[in-house]
Amino acid sequence: MSNAAKPSIVFCHGIWADGSSFGKVIPPLQAQGYQCIAAQYGLDTPEEDVATVRRTLGRVASPAILVGHSYGGSVITAAGTDERVVGLVYIAALANDADETSQSQQTKFPVTDVFKYVEVADGRLWMRSDGIACFAGDLSEQEQRLLWATHYAPAADLFSRNAPGVAWKSKPSAYVVATQDRTVHPDLERFLAKRMGAMTTEIASSHVAMLSHPHAVVDVILELANSLAPVPVAT
Judged against a pLDDT cut of 90, whether residue 201 lies above it is answered with yes
Rg, Å, the chain Cα set: 16
Adjacent-strand bridge partners of 118: 127
- Angle, vertex CA 115, rays to CA 129 and CA 197, nearest 5: 120
State how many domains the chain has: 1
pLDDT at 30 over 80: yes
> What is the structure's pLDDT at 3?
43
What percentage of the chain has pLDDT greater than the value 70? 96
Decide if 140 is inside a domain. Answer: yes
Q: Is 155 a member of any domain?
A: yes
**From CA 43, how far away is CA 39, in angstroms rounded?**
11
The answer to whether residue 1 sits within a structural domain is no
Q: In the structure, what pLDDT confidence band is assigned to residue 4 with cuts at 50, 70 and 90?
A: low
Instruction: Kindly state whether residue 83 falls inside one of the protein's structural domains.
Output: yes
Q: Is the pLDDT of residue 86 over 70?
A: yes
Q: CATH no. for residue 198? A: 3.40.50.1820
Which domain covers residue 157, as residue numbers? 8-227
235 inside domain: no
Q: Residue 74 and residue 65: Cα distance in Å, rounded? A: 15
**pLDDT tens per residue, range 134-159:** 999 999 999 999 999 999 999 999 99
Q: What is the pTM of this model?
A: 0.95
Residue 164 resides in a domain: yes
Mean pLDDT of the chain: 95
Decide if 2 is inside a domain: no
CA distances from 51 to 79, 201, 207 (A): 8, 29, 25
What is the DSSP-derived secondary structure letter of residue 234? -
Q: Is residue 170 part of a domain?
A: yes
What lies within 8 Å, CB to CB, of 136 at 6+ separation is 143, 144, 147, 206, 207, 208, 211, 212
